[in-house]
Amino acid sequence: MDVQKNLLLDITDLKVHFDIAQKSAWPWTKPLKLKAVDGVGIRLYEGETLGVVGESGCGKSTFARAVIGLVEATDGKVVWLGQDLTRLNHKEMREKRKDIQMIFQDPLASLNPRMTVGEIIAEPLKAYFPELSSDDVKQQVKAMMAKVGLLPNVINRYPHEFSGGQCQRIGIARALILKPKLIICDEPVSALDVSIQAQVVNLLKSLQKEMGLSLIFIAHDLSVVKHISDRVMVMYLGNAVEMGEADALFTEPKHPYTKALMSAVPIPDPELERNKEIQLLEGDLPSPMNPPSGCVFRTRCPVATAACAEKKPQLEGTDIHAVSCLHAH
């Protein structure tokens, strides 16, 4: 399939800045700006999975929440099927959420402990299709439970009676019950055991193929991202520093930050694992309230020069591979 013909999501220069009040300041003192996301742009096509990686605090989850409207964008455009979501009011955005759903990181915390499994999965249906009869809702809920690997006889149980992996399956069923076009997965496997992670990732891939879904998949585990993603975006301090097809990016990373991330991925071959060179980053992640001038990575970059402080580099390249670095090679 030529995914280039079916553009779903076109994000341009997305920014999410938060005002942070200064301690012990005068009432009229201007708050500090925390630049959680600072000018990220992506294109997502029908049936495609975009992986988003980066260390904690780089803005991955804020980016995802801004796409779906759970946090307000400061600037930029989020164009969904030709319509800018950042310009919609609450009622209009609520209607669009039928097509864009989210799976959260903590499977148990994302479920209402006072509701049964059936009630949790049925809630979106009742909110958007109140005309459906209780029998129709129950039938659709049971069908979705079967799709995600849950037995129909657990429909009246509560979340605390399930394991973490089962709770995440409930969350997946709730997200899919409206048959959306896009699922945003915010680190959906990071709280699960490794064996359960593989089951959930394979389930998502199977459902994607069956239902024609597009995915934005956020994770720390690069091996998981490589397994599920068609393209990958690498974020650092609220910026996209490298983006491209998964095979190209994992085989030949160009940005120094991406190279450091890739060097930390374990290799199954013991000999290669012992002899590989790990590129350790020096220093701490700078504060998003006071990011470095020019390239945001320059304070930890092993190849930074004086020119890196003068101008902020932009993503340059093709859809296959683009990088934001003056010294990429």
pLDDT reading at 2 higher than 60: no
Q: Give the separation between CA 60 and CA 14, rounded to whole angstroms.
A: 12
Q: Helix crossing, 164-176 with 194-211: angle to 10°?
A: 20
The structure tokens listed for 165 are 């992996």
- Could you tell me the fold of the domain covering 3-22+31-99+180-323? Rossmann fold (3.40.50)
pLDDT of residue 1: 40
- Residue holding tokens 């005068």? 26
Length, in residues, of the chain: 329
Mean pLDDT to the nearest integer, 126-138: 95
Mean pLDDT to the nearest integer, 10-21: 94
pLDDT of residue 121: 97
Segment among 26-30, 71-75, 105-109, 288-292 with least mean pLDDT: 26-30
Helix count and strand count (H, E) for the chain = 10, 12
Confidence of residue 32 (pLDDT cuts 50, 70, 90): confident
pLDDT reading at 264 higher than 80: no
pLDDT reading at 275 higher than 90: no
Strand-strand pairing, 214-218 and 32-45:
unpaired
| Closest CA relative to residue 172, chosen from 225, 135, 210 | 210
pLDDT reading at 271 higher than 90: no
Mean pLDDT (the chain, rounded): 90
Please name every residue paired with 9 in a beta bridge, in sequence order, or none if there are none.
44, 80
Q: Give the separation between CA 162 and CA 110, rounded to whole angstroms.
A: 13
pLDDT of residue 329: 63
Segment among 3-17, 51-65, 150-164, 262-276 with least mean pLDDT: 262-276
What does the DSSP 8-state code read for residue 280? P
Burial of 239: CB neighbours in 10 Å, binned 0-12, 13-18, 19+? buried
Measured CA distances, 91 to 14, 69, 88, 97, 297 (Å): 22, 12, 8, 10, 40
Q: Domain residues of the chain, as ranges? A: 3-22+31-99+180-323
The structure tokens listed for 322 are 């683009």
pLDDT reading at 190 higher than 90: no
pLDDT of residue 117: 96
Q: How far is CA 117 from the centre of its chain?
A: 25
pLDDT reading at 27 higher than 80: no
The structure tokens listed for 25 are 């300041």
